[in-house]
Amino acid sequence: EGSGEFFGWFFLFFRSVFPFADEIARKKKISRSKVFSTCLQELAEKHRVAEMAEGYNAMAAEQEQFVKIASKIEHEALPEWK
């Protein structure tokens, strides 16, 4: 059953994606392989940017927690800043 599902998916993919890739390739005057590699590069770049944003957001949340804690005790370390 597993290989049948794979081949069914593969043929569906082949019938739907390849004509679209061929159309893009004709319009841009590039190979179908170049269309696929360009799409994968763009997808990888979007994924990298999303991961960076996620990391920056996590760092910002940690920094916010630190500021909350530090602001509660800052008067102990620096009394003249009251």
Residue 16 has pLDDT above 60, yes or no: yes
pLDDT in tens, 64-79: 999 988 888 877 776 6
Find how far residue 50's CA is from the centre of its chain: 4
Predicted TM-score of the model (pTM): 0.58
* C-beta of residue 27 within 8 angstroms of C-beta of residue 18: no
Residue 42 has pLDDT above 60, yes or no: yes
In whole angstroms, give the CA distance from residue 48 to residue 35. Answer: 20
For residue 15, the SS3 value is: helix
